[in-house]
Structure 1
Amino acid sequence: MKPIEKSQQAFKEASNYFPGGVNSPVRAFKNVGGDPLFIKKGAGSHIFDIDGNEYIDYVLSWGPLILGHADPKVVSDLQAAVSNGTSYGAPTLLETELAKKIQSIVPSMEMMRMVSSGTEATMSAIRVARGVTKRDKIVKFVGNYHGHSDSLLVDAGSGVATFDINTSPGVPKSLAYDTLTSPYNDVDTIKQIFEKHGDEIACIIVEPVAGNMGVIPGTKEFLQTLRDLTKQSGSILIFDEVMSGFRAAYHGAQNLYGIKPDMTTLGKVVGGGLPVGVFGGRRDIMEQVAPSGPIYHAGTLSGNPLAMTGGISTLNQLSPELYDQMTAKVDRLAKGIADAAQAHNVPVVVHHVGTMWSYFFNQGPVNNFADVQKSDMDFFAKFFRALLENGIYTAPSEYETNFMSSKHTDAEIDQTIAAFNQAFDDALKG
C-alpha cells in the first residue's frame, strides 16, 4: 500500500468545512485510528483511492451496490436518464415501474411511497403508525439503528454505537420518553413492555436481521413474538429492511422468516446506489397518507427519475439464482475467516445472512448489543488497519456490516482469506 498523503491532505482540508471532516460520522475512521481514505473511483468489486491504492471493497457504499461499482447496465441506464433531465417534481412512469417491481419481490408492500433516504422512510413509517393508531409510544431495540430522526436515536446502533452516544443532544426528552427500548432477541422483556404499555404503543420497529451492530439475525421466536404482540394490542409491526431488504435474501428477511409485517421500510439496494428510501405496507394503512388521507408526507425529490432508474436497473438484474451464487461466496469467506482466526488462536464469531456478513473478536455467543460490547474493539482497530494494508476494505467499525456483490470472484475470495491470515499475523505482532 502506497502512503496516503493525498488522502491525509484532503481530510485536513475537508475538516475546515465539515464537522470531523466528513458528511457521515463513521467515515472519519475515528473508531479505528488513522485518517480516512478519499476515494477516486470504483469498478466492480474494487475501489481506488486518490493516492493510487486499489482495494477489494466489502463496504459497497454501506450496502447499496449489490451489482458492484459502476455496473455497466446501471451506468448506461442512468446516462440515458440524465439526458432527459434530473428532476421534474411531477409524476413519471418510472415511479410506478419501480413500485411494481418492488411489490413483485416483496408482496407485503401493497402500497408504498418513495422518499430519498432510509431515515426519511423510517421516520415517515412511524408517523403513519402513530397517525393510524392515534397512539404516541413506539418500541425499538437496543442496537437497532433506524436513521437519525429524533425518536429513533435512543439506544441506537451503527454510528451512534460507534461513538458511544446513547441519545443525541437536540432530541427532546419528551420524544425519548415515548420511545421504549428493549434488548434485541429478548422475548421476556418485550412481553413485559406490552403487558404494561400495550394499549399505548403505536408500533414496533425492528431490523429483522440487525445490521447496525454487526450482523445479528433475529430469532424466529423473537420475531414471531413481535408479530403476535402487535396483533393482540392493535399496534403496527414495522420491519426496517433498509439494509436487509434485497440483502438477507432476494425477497427480504420477512420471506426468510415467513412473517408478514404491517409496514416495511426499504432503501440502499432499492436505489442502485442513488439516494432512495421506500415505506409502505398494508393498503388500508397507506391510504391514510396524504393526499388520500390526513397523515402528511411530502418530498421535493421523492421518486426523482434518476433514483427510480437506478433502482429499476438494479432490481431487474437480480434473481434468486444470483443470490445463491453470492451467498455461496459469503459462506466460503465466513469459513475462511473463522479458520484463519482459529489458526492464530484468536476468538472470533462470524455471522452471515445472505449477502451480509460481519465478524466479532468475541468468545460468543453474540445475540444482542450487550454481547457485541464484550468484543475486543482495540484488536478490531489494529486488525482493520492490517487488512487495509493488505488491500481489503471493510467497514471501519465492529458495529457495521460488510457485504458481498455479484462482481466478487472466487479468486478474490481466496485473496481476501489470504489477507485475513496475513492481517492476523500483522495485528498480533503489533
Structure 2
Amino acid sequence: MVFESLAEKLQNALGKLKSKGKLNEKDVDLAMREVKLALLEADVNFKVVKKFIKDVKERAIGSEVMESLTPGQQVIKIVNEELTLLMGEKESKIEFSPNPPTVILFCGLQGAGKTTTAGKLAFNLKKQNKRPLLVACDVYRPAAIKQLEVVGERVSVPVFTMGDKNDPVDIAKAGVEHGKKNGNDVIIIDTAGRLHIDDTLMEELKNIASEVNPKEILLVVDAMTGQDAVTVADNFNEKLELTGVILTKLDGDARGGAALSIRAVTNKPIKYVGMGEKLDQLEQFYPDRMASRILGMGDVLSLIEKAQESFDAQKAMELEKKIRTQQFTFDDFLDQLDQMKNLGPLDEVIGMIPGVNTKKLKGMDVDEKELVRIQAIIQSMTKDEREEPSIIDSSRRKRIAKGSGTSVQDVNRLLKQFKETKKMMKRFTDMEKTIKKKGKFGFPFF
C-alpha cells in the first residue's frame, strides 16, 4: 500500500498519545522523536523533517493542546494539518488557457514514465470533455515515437509525429499548429529524457518552451527513487521554472519520501500521481486526503469518487428494486463483483475507509484471487441455476466445480454465502417496511 511503512510508524507514535489523559512537554518530545525517525526512514528530506518537527512541536506544546480534554487527539489534528501543508495544502489542477489550445510540456529523465503518463493525462482530460493531442518530440530513444502512437491508440487520442529525423523544436511548433487547425484544445508535448541532467537536454527543453510558450511545464518523476526524485525536481525547476510535478509509481512506494519532500524543496505542487500501470490510473493529488490516509483517518471523498466512476447509476437503481422485491440473482452478484474490481486493489480501497486499522490490514490476506474463483463458479452455472440456486443439487454442484476448476466445497460455500446474503437483505427490507408502517400511525422511532 501507498506510504505503508511510514503510515504504520506514524500511527504507532501518535497512538501512544491518545491513551493519555494529560500531556506534558516530555510526552510530546518522545512522540516527535519517533515521528522524526519515521520521516527520515521514509527518505524525507532532512531539512524538511527538521522544519516539520519544529512547527508541530511549537503548536503541540501550546496551552490550547495541553489544557484540552483530548490532548492526544489535538496533537494528531496538528500533525494532520502540518502534513497537509507540507504536501501543498490543497489540490493543484491543470491551468487551462483562456484562449485554446492549452500547451502542456512534459519533461523528465529516462525511465520515469513520461510517455505512458502523457497518454494517461490525455485520457484523464478526455473524461473532462477536452480534445487532447499528443505530440511526439522524443527523436532519440528507439521506438519512443511508436510507443506514444500505441498509447494514443489505446486511449483514442490522436498523435502528431514527424519521424525521428527532424528537430524536436520544429516538431513541437508544427504539432501546436496542427492542433490549432484540428480543434484540439489541449496539446501534450512528450519530450526526450536522459539518464541524467545535462546541458544538451536542458537547452533543447528551453528552446521548445520558448517556441511553443506552454501554459504548463510538468516534470514526471519516479516516486520510488525517493530523494533522487527531489534532487531531479529541484534541478529541473532551477532551469525551466516548472508549474508542477507528476509522481509516477506511487502505488509501489511504501516510504513516500518524494511525495512529502518535493513541494517543500521546489515550492512546486504535485498535480497528479500514477497509481498503477493501467491508463486510467492517474489521479489528481489531494494533499489533505493523502495526509488523512497516512494517519489512518481514511479517504472517504476519493472512495466516493472512485465508486461514482465505477458504478453504473441505472444498474444501481435496478439492483435496489431487485433487493426490495427479493429478485436478487447470481447474475446481479456477478455484476457487482465486476464493478467492485473497477475500484482498484482491494487493500487500497479498504485503506480508504475511516476507522479501518491498517496495521491489521497488513497481516490480513486480501486475496483478489478469491473474487476470480467466485466469478468462475458463477460463470459455470446455467442461466436457470443463476436465477434459482435452489435447483442446484449434488450432481449440478459437481458439474459446476469441475467447470470452474474449483472444489464442491467452494461451490457449497458460495451457495451458503449467497443464501445468507439474501436473508440479510430480506431482514433489512422487512425492517424498513415496519419502520414506515409505524411512522404512518404516529409511533415514535429512534
TM-score with structure 2 setting the length: 0.30
Structure possessing the higher radius of gyration over alpha carbons: 2
More strand by proportion, 1 or 2? Answer: 1
TM-score with structure 1 setting the length: 0.31
More helix by proportion, 1 or 2? Answer: 2
